[in-house]
Amino acid sequence: MRKVDDFPGSKRKRLRPGKVSPPRPVPEHIARPPYVKSKIPPGIASGPEVHDEQGIECMRASGRLAAQVLQYAGTLVKPGITTDEIDQAVHQMIIDNGAYPSPLGYGGFPKSVCTSVNECICHGIPDSRVLEDGDIINIDVTVYLNGYHGDTSATFFCGDVDDEARNLVQVTRESLDKAISICAPGVEFKKIGKTIHDHADKFRYGVVRQFVGHGVGSVFHADPVVLHYRNNGGGRMKLNQTFTIEPMLTIGSINPIMWNDNWTVVTEDGSLSAQFEHTILITSHGAEILTQC
């Protein structure tokens, strides 16, 4: 695999941890998910998230807010802003809408959003690092509104981004879109992984295996575990079920290295990674994207 220092003409420096500010307060009247009181990650809850009409409307509301917050966060991406400033803006918008930022306090996570820059695959903690011209950044937003989570992410360009990064981001977005397009009641979950992997292979991109999509609804992470690579897993999609698809593609190594903060995950060789994520609802006609403005 290529090392980051071998990228022709690249001036990009490897990520280093910045200073993390204290967790931001949430007004007492805003309902908190049950895991907030514990520093132990709750893991994957057993059983799929399948909803009645009221649950579906609640999922639409939380998904809509998450999409609006993500769209706003994307407008802030520019050289000179810190990821902590993005966290501040996201936090404020979420609580202003009467929702709780789901990442805050999940297994001890100290911030209200995940910001994953360049070689960061996922779970980047917002800090004092300033975004630089040419960076790419994934912003992962989840909101807890009226007892339901809406979960979405996108990778944004910061300033003048080179073609190599732009192509990776485009293909990652396409892989998510293609995966959603095959979803419908009765479809095998393993077809999601095949669809994503097949598309990534056309461009010789790697597909990260250790991090997965998941059921989402009244709990943050539930069955099924949605694999983004070719697999022989079982299970089929159910009508009125909600889950995420969130492929992470890399230019180089797919092997993740975790920082000492026990959250930030970067590529082993420092090569770029991109991710997109939607929460979807399985309908009689296919799939409805709940986290789309």
Q: Which residues make up each annotated binding site for a divalent metal cation? A: 140, 151, 214, 246, 277
CA 245 to chain centre: 9
Query: In terms of Cα–Cα distance, which of 170, 165, 174 is closest to 136?
Result: 165
Give the burial class of 80: count Cβ atoms within 10 A of its Cβ; 0-12 exposed, 13-18 middle, 19 or more buried.
Answer: exposed
Burial category of 19 from C-beta neighbours within 10 Å (exposed 0-12, middle 13-18, buried 19 and up): exposed
Judging by beta carbons within 10 Å of its beta carbon (0-12, 13-18, 19+), is residue 148 exposed, middle or buried? buried
Rg (CA), the chain: 18
Token pair of 167 as six digits: 């192509």
Q: How many residues does the chain have?
A: 293
Binding residue numbers:
123, 140, 151, 214, 221, 246, 277
Residues 192, 193, 196, CA angle at the centre, nearest 5°? 85
Nearest residue to 142 via CA among 153, 126, 132? 153
If we measure between CA atoms, which residue out of 141, 124, 140, 138 comes closest to residue 168?
138
Residue 206 phi, psi (nearest 5): -85, 155
Beta bridge mates, 266:
120, 257
* 274, 249 contact by CB (below 8 A): yes
List, as residue ranges, the binding site for substrate: 123, 221
Cis peptide before 185 (omega within 30 of 0): no
- By DSSP bridging, strand 273-275 and strand 248-250 are antiparallel
